[in-house]
Amino acid sequence: MAVPKLEQLSKSVVQGPSLATGAIPTMDWMEYPAVFKSGNYAYPAKSEKVAYLDSQSGLHFPNSREWSPEDDDWKLPADWKEIILKGLKERLEKFRSLKIFMDCCVRCGACADKCHFFLGTGDPKNMPVMRAELLRSVYRNDFTLAGKILGKMAGAREMTVAVLKEWFMYSYQCTECRRCSVFCPYGIDTAEVTMMLRELLHLVGVGINWVLEPVSNSNRTGNHMGLQPHTFKDNVEFLVDDVESLTGVRPNVSFNRKGAEVLFITPSADVFAEPGLYTAMGYLTLFEAIGLDYTWSTYASEGGNFGLFTNNETMKKLNAKMYAEAKRLGVKYIIGGECGHMWRVVHQYMDTMNGPADFLEKPVSPITGTVFENAASTKMVHISEFTADLIKHGKLKFDKSRNSHVKATYHDSCNTARAMGLLDEPRYILDHIVDWVEMPENTIREQTFCCGSGTGLNTDEIMELRMRSGLPRANAVKYVHDKHDVNMLACVCAIDRATLTSLMDYWNPGVRVCGISELLANALVLEGENRADLDDGFRTML
């Protein structure tokens, strides 16, 4: 599906008839069907990927088949409706959040224009409240007295194939960024709703390939790129070579080494493609500079967890590798690289799902002696926390002028901001290494806008959708690009590094995307370095 020209889309988002631009729908929302056409949906998961996952212990991915969203017949199992309703009942019993969020919404509409999908598409069903109503209407019909008695009058509707199709469309037009939950007076979190919808859809074999293929890769090879151990090692070693040729210092690396003090885990995208590669070079350079005793793992070679975009069982199974590997290698604790949703899992789920990690020790920085009390139980420290602490103690020497080609701004990734509260550590680092400015206040920190392609929506067949949903973020970058000549969008998220690059190329050509660790390494003065004049930092072609 071709992406529309910038001029076309720029006009369309402002003038196209949509709820965001002022067009008022004439029918009741229940009357509008979800219509699938090329470009507005992500490809369904390949049958063999679903079957593979179903064969794995602890996972449940039944009803694998070839199907297409554009077909009338989705080849659902005969008892699909019972499966869905039973699944919903089970989840209401397992998750208080779901019950509360189904019952408490007053439809005040505070969330409506907080969603980047709504702002970019103007589709009323992309208002968070409406997205939840898609499920809430079925919940009312089958699980509440008022709905059972009053039916449609009380906003209830029967579960039908059309409803299921609508669920598929809109649970994959949500990146579970949780921005709406900041503004909701009851803290209703659409991510919880979307996660449940996706779980339910998987029960009837409805899922997307861009989520399930990475999941099966992560399960089998340890990382979502599907890099096998030797390839993973090769990739990292290429980066080691690059760092050496740029700085004259060759970082020491090891893989699956027992007895290392620290296990380092980062999203595999960082060792796979630009611009993540430069972030990975940043980690290598930093760890070399402080002489950290650490190891990479090829088995736990993925920080990201596409299970989070699937169901809680899959999230747990993928995440379990981190502790399993830490235990096998006998490390003291884990440091995690720059990634958004990985850190949602690590901060909010890991210990609960796979803890207690009593075979690890409370993380202590070997360089500064700082005890990371905030990670006392999970035993996993964020690279930005670790780095900020080093800077505070004067353990790193910077030459800020090495970043003089950069004017940066900082993008808070949704998960580190709203599911962790990691806001000021990256800013603290930036203050020491680069000249940077903030984007407008309603688009940063807890109010940050998603890149528009998270939760497995980073796939090319929905590029127009991604450019639309990324518009609020891109627009805020444009503001500082125009006003302050910002040319670099720094972030702490691997999905951001991949997707914001496409987004900037489309909306704001001239703005590049990088990880914090890349800028850090640019400015870092290494002992014994023999550094050429790198006018583009670590991106300089020698």
Partner 1 sequence: MKYAFSFLAVIALVLIAGLGSQIPGMPYLFGVALPYLALMIFLGGCVYRVVQWAKSPVPFSIQTTCGQGKSLDFIKHDRLEAPNTTAEVVARMFLEIVTFRSLFRNTKSEIYDGPQITYESSKWLWMFALIFHYSFLVIVVRHMRLFLDPVPVWISWLEYGDGLFQVGAPTWYITDIGLLAGVALLFSRRLITRHVRFISLMNDYFPLVLIFGIALSGILMRYFLRTDIDIVNIKQLAVGLVTFSPTIGAEIGAIFYIHLFLVCALLAYFPFSKLMHFAGVFMSPTRNMKNTSRAKRHINPWNPRILPHSYAGYEDEFREFMVDAGIPVEKELAPKKDED
Count of residues interacting with partner 1 (CB under 8 A): 124
Query: Among 445, 481, 512, 539, which residue sits at the site for partner 1 (rule: CB under 8 A)?
Result: 445
Q: Does 146 bind partner 1 (CB under 8 A)?
A: yes
**Nearby residues of 383 by Cβ (< 8 Å), 6 or more positions away:** 266, 283, 335, 336, 337, 338, 492, 517
d(CA 296, CA 278): 17
Smallest gap from Cβ 47 to partner 1, in A, equals 20
Smallest gap from Cβ 214 to partner 1, in A, equals 14
Q: Does 461 bind partner 1 (CB under 8 A)?
A: no
Identity of the residue, 8 or 530, whose beta carbon is nearer to partner 1 in the bound complex = 8
d(CA 79, CA 360): 46
Cβ-based neighbour number of residue 273 at 10 Å: 15
Instruction: Give the footprint of partner 1 on residues 471-510 (CB under 8 A).
Output: 471-472, 475
Q: Among the candidate windows 71-79, 152-160, 488-496, 526-534, which touches partner 1 by CB under 8 A? A: 152-160
Identity of the residue, 378 or 459, whose beta carbon is nearer to partner 1 in the bound complex = 378
Q: Does 290 bind partner 1 (CB under 8 A)?
A: no
Q: Does 367 bind partner 1 (CB under 8 A)?
A: no
Identity of the residue, 233 or 497, whose beta carbon is nearer to partner 1 in the bound complex = 233
Q: What is the DSSP string of 218-264?
A: HHHHSSTT---HHHHHHHHHHHHHHHHHHHS------BS-TT-SEEE
Instruction: Give the footprint of partner 1 on residues 204-223 (CB under 8 A).
Output: 219-222
Task: Give yes or no for a cis peptide into 472 (omega within 30° of 0).
Answer: no
Query: Among 49, 198, 224, 317, which residue sits at the site for partner 1 (rule: CB under 8 A)?
Result: 317
d(CA 245, CA 349): 40
Residue 521 host element (H or E): helix 516-523
Smallest gap from Cβ 542 to partner 1, in A, equals 27
Q: Does 86 bind partner 1 (CB under 8 A)?
A: no
* Distance between first and last Cα of the chain: 37
Structure tokens at 410: 């900082």
Smallest gap from Cβ 524 to partner 1, in A, equals 20
Helix runs in 451-509, H state only: 463-469, 471-484, 494-507
Q: What is the DSSP string of 380-399?
A: EEEHHHHHHHHHHTT---B-
Q: Does 328 bind partner 1 (CB under 8 A)?
A: yes
Cα diameter, the chain: 78
Q: Among the candidate windows 62-70, 228-236, 244-252, 483-491, which touches partner 1 by CB under 8 A? A: 228-236
Instruction: Give the footprint of partner 1 on residues 374-403 (CB under 8 A).
Output: 374-378, 380, 385, 388-389, 392
Q: Does 133 bind partner 1 (CB under 8 A)?
A: yes
Identity of the residue, 384 or 499, whose beta carbon is nearer to partner 1 in the bound complex = 384
DSSP state of 360: S
Q: Does 325 bind partner 1 (CB under 8 A)?
A: yes
Q: Among the candidate windows 123-131, 403-411, 459-467, 490-498, which touches partner 1 by CB under 8 A? A: 123-131
Q: What is the DSSP string of 7-55?
A: HHHHHHHHHSSSTTTT----S-GGGPPP---TTSSPPBPPHHHHHHHHT
Residue 461 host element (H or E): none
Q: Among the candidate windows 129-137, 400-408, 509-517, 531-539, which touches partner 1 by CB under 8 A? A: 129-137
Smallest gap from Cβ 340 to partner 1, in A, equals 13
Smallest gap from Cβ 267 to partner 1, in A, equals 18
Structure tokens at 353: 């799902």
Q: Among the candidate windows 165-173, 207-215, 263-271, 436-444, which touches partner 1 by CB under 8 A? A: 436-444
Smallest gap from Cβ 536 to partner 1, in A, equals 30
